[in-house]
């Protein structure tokens, strides 16, 4: 079963699906050749792991499976009341067959830039227009035709 890899570099994230990478821990450095030959020369660091149910992993839990941990504060604990302790379900710091997603950070760049390796993820997305945007465009440009129902709604509002 393929795992989703999120590779982040200077504010941009690139997505890749590859086969299971078992036995790797958070904070471990990985060569880009392990994913694909296009990532040759890249050095990546694992920053986070989560399973198919969405449970995140923590660096200080030594195991592959899920654990119930009593937490007072820190990652995964959102309750800020003083003295509050809650049991949270978290994964260990090691990837296994249950891993669904691994987050990676680029430490050393290879020969090609990530934008060249993943060109479809770098294209700007088209902006969606809604009825209000279309109506204001029609007022500015009377030659532009709007769908009939939107013209009627714009005329009723005036």
Q: Domain check: are 26 and 94 in the same one?
A: yes
Q: Domain check: are 67 and 112 in the same one?
A: yes
Q: Domain check: are 15 and 58 in the same one?
A: yes
Task: Tell me the whole-structure pTM to 2 decimals.
Answer: 0.69
Q: Domain check: are 117 and 147 in the same one?
A: no
Q: Domain check: are 139 and 111 in the same one?
A: no
Contact 95, 24 (CB under 8 A): yes
**Smallest Cα–Cα separation from 1: which of 95, 104, 100, 102?**
100
How far, in Å, CA of 91 to CA of 61, rounded? 7
Q: Domain check: are 20 and 82 in the same one?
A: yes
- The domain in which residue 61 lies consists of 3-121
Q: Domain check: are 101 and 135 in the same one?
A: no
By three-state DSSP, how is residue 13 classified? strand
**Smallest Cα–Cα separation from 59: which of 20, 35, 28, 34?**
28
> Which structure tokens are listed for 149?
């129902």
Task: Count structural domains, the chain.
Answer: 2
| pLDDT tens for the 158 residues of the chain, in order | 688 888 888 888 888 888 767 888 999 999 888 877 888 889 999 999 998 888 888 888 888 888 888 888 777 677 778 888 888 888 888 888 888 999 999 999 888 888 888 877 665 666 666 666 655 555 666 565 555 655 555 555 55
Q: Domain check: are 148 and 90 in the same one?
A: no
By three-state DSSP, how is residue 146 classified? coil
Phi, psi (degrees; rounded to nearest 5) at 149? -65, -30
Q: Domain check: are 64 and 7 in the same one?
A: yes
Phi, psi (degrees; rounded to nearest 5) at 154? -70, -35
């Amino acid at each position: 079963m393929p795992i989703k890899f999120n590779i982040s570099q200077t504010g941009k994230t690139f997505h890749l699906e590859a086969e299971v990478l078992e036995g790797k821990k958070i904070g471990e450095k990985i060569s880009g050749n392990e994913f694909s030959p296009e990532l040759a020369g890249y050095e990546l660091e694992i920053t986070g792991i989560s399973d198919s149910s969405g449970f995140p992993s923590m660096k200080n839990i030594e195991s592959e499976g899920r654990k119930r941990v009593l937490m007072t504060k820190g990652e995964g604990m959102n309750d800020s009341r003083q003295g509050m302790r809650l049991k949270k379900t978290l994964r260990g710091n090691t990837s296994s067959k249950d891993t669904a997603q691994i987050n990676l950070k680029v430490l050393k760049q290879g020969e090609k830039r990530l934008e060249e390796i993943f060109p479809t993820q770098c294209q700007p997305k088209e902006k969606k227009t809604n009825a209000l945007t279309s109506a204001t465009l029609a007022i500015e440009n009377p030659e532009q035709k709007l769908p009939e129902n939107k013209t009627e709604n714009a005329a009723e509002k005036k």
